[in-house]
Amino acid sequence: MVIAIDGPAASGKGTLARRLARHLGRPHLDTGLLYRAVARDMLDREEPLSDAALAARAAAALDTARLDDPRLRSREMGEAASIVSTFAAVRETLLGFQRRFARQEGGAVLDGRDIGTVVCPDADLKLYVTASPEERARRRQRELAQTGEPSDFETVLADIRRRDARDQGRPNAPLRMAEDAVLLDTTALDADAAFAEALRIVRTRLDV
């Protein structure tokens, strides 16, 4: 059973995916961490994020055992990831790992930007999780505050809008809702309510 969860930044898809995976007893992969890790490795080597060849090399050498690095959750890495993720060679290199993860026995829950459209187009269930830019900015601001990273709402909102434009406008695997995905708008839902609705959809569609 493969569940693909896509959506823009700070829509709540990551939290939702983790909770669903835990509830269903399935492994979970936040695919965005792969791109953040590529960006981290490049920044650690002081390599320009705009260099597609260096980004592809970093993706090929990526150590997936280091995806628990707390630095990957920072605003800096989120912005950096949205740059390296535009490169076709980076996406192609990471695609194999994502598909192998999904194919493991029993299936998995994956979240990202192109899971239902590119990584797992034959997923048993596809969810597209979204929320208004303003609500997503408020959520991101709260997350940053919890980590002690200072943030200004208007700055965070501008970051959200810029990432949306970059994710939706890139030529390679742009962010979009798969035709057979179920839309889940979490603007007016807290984490518990969003989880309850997602679980209802899972049980209805997959009979689990």
Residues annotated as binding site for ATP? 7-15
Q: Assign residue 207 a region (left: φ > 0; alpha: ψ between -120 and 50; beta: otherwise).
A: left
Instruction: For residue 112, list its beta bridge partners.
Output: 6
- Within 8 A by CB and 6+ apart from 36, the residues are 72, 77, 78, 80, 81
Q: Which residues are annotated as a binding site?
A: 7-15
Count of H-run helices and E-run strands, the chain: 8, 5
Give the DSSP letter of residue 116.
I
Distance between first and last Cα of the chain:
10
